[in-house]
């Protein structure tokens, strides 16, 4: 397991991530879709501060810099 030297996210940063994730999820569902379970797991890892956006992209198989929403 690699050592992670990142600082823990603040409560404000965690709230902002949670709001962004909830907004994105709502938009996807309003379009009549549902995210696959593996993406829900990654999304929760991002929202909780376990991984950052670039790690999310890599784990989700998205190209670097591709807009997520």
How many structural domains is the chain composed of?
1
Domain span including residue 51: 11-60
Residue 69 included in any domain: no
4 — pLDDT class (breaks 50, 70, 90): low
Query: Averaged over 12-33, what is the pLDDT?
Result: 96
Residue 3 included in any domain: no
Q: What is the pTM of this model?
A: 0.80
Residue 33 included in any domain: yes
- Is it the case that residue 25 has pLDDT exceeding 90? yes
- Is it the case that residue 66 has pLDDT exceeding 70? no
DSSP string, 16-46: HHHHHHHHHHHHHHHTT----HHHHHHHHHH
Residue 36 included in any domain: yes
Looking at every residue in the chain, the average pLDDT score rounds to 88
């Amino acid at each position: 397991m690699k050592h992670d030297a990142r600082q823990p996210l603040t409560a404000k940063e965690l709230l902002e991530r949670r709001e962004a994730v909830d907004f994105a999820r709502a938009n996807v569902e309003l379009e009549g879709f549902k995210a696959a379970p593996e993406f829900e797991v990654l999304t929760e890892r991002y929202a909780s501060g376990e991984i950052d956006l670039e790690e999310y992209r890599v784990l989700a198989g998205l190209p670097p810099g591709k807009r997520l929403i």
